[in-house]
Amino acid sequence: MKVTLIAKTSPITEHFPKADRPWYSPSGLERIVCSTGKNCTGKFDDKLGVDEIDKFNHLNVNKLKHDSLLEHYQFTFRIEGISRACSHQLVRHRHLSFSQTSQRFISVLGSENPLFDVVIPEKFKDNDEAMVIFAGALAACKEAYYELRELGFKKEDCRSISPQCHKTDIIVSGNARALKDFFRLRLWGKGVQNEIKVLATKMYNIVESYGNFFDEKYS
Q: 1-23 pLDDT, tens per residue?
A: 999 999 999 877 666 655 444 44
Which structural domain, as residue segments, surrounds residue 48? 2-76+170-218
Q: Is residue 196 a part of any domain in this protein? A: yes
Q: Is residue 210 a part of any domain in this protein? A: yes
Q: Are residues 72 and 177 in the same domain?
A: yes
Q: Which phi and psi (to 5°) does residue 210 adopt? A: -85, -5
Q: Are residues 124 and 141 in the same domain?
A: yes
pLDDT at residue 51, as a whole number:
86
Give residue-wise pLDDT tens across range 90-138: 999 999 999 999 998 988 999 999 999 999 999 999 999 999 999 999 9
Residues recognised as catalytic: 186
State how far the Cα of 182 lies from the Cα of 187, in Å rounded to an integer: 8
State how far the Cα of 57 lies from the Cα of 210, in Å rounded to an integer: 12
Output the pTM of the full model.
0.90
The answer on pLDDT for 167 being more than 50 is yes
Of the candidates 175, 205, 166, the residue with the CA atom closest to the CA atom of residue 32: 175
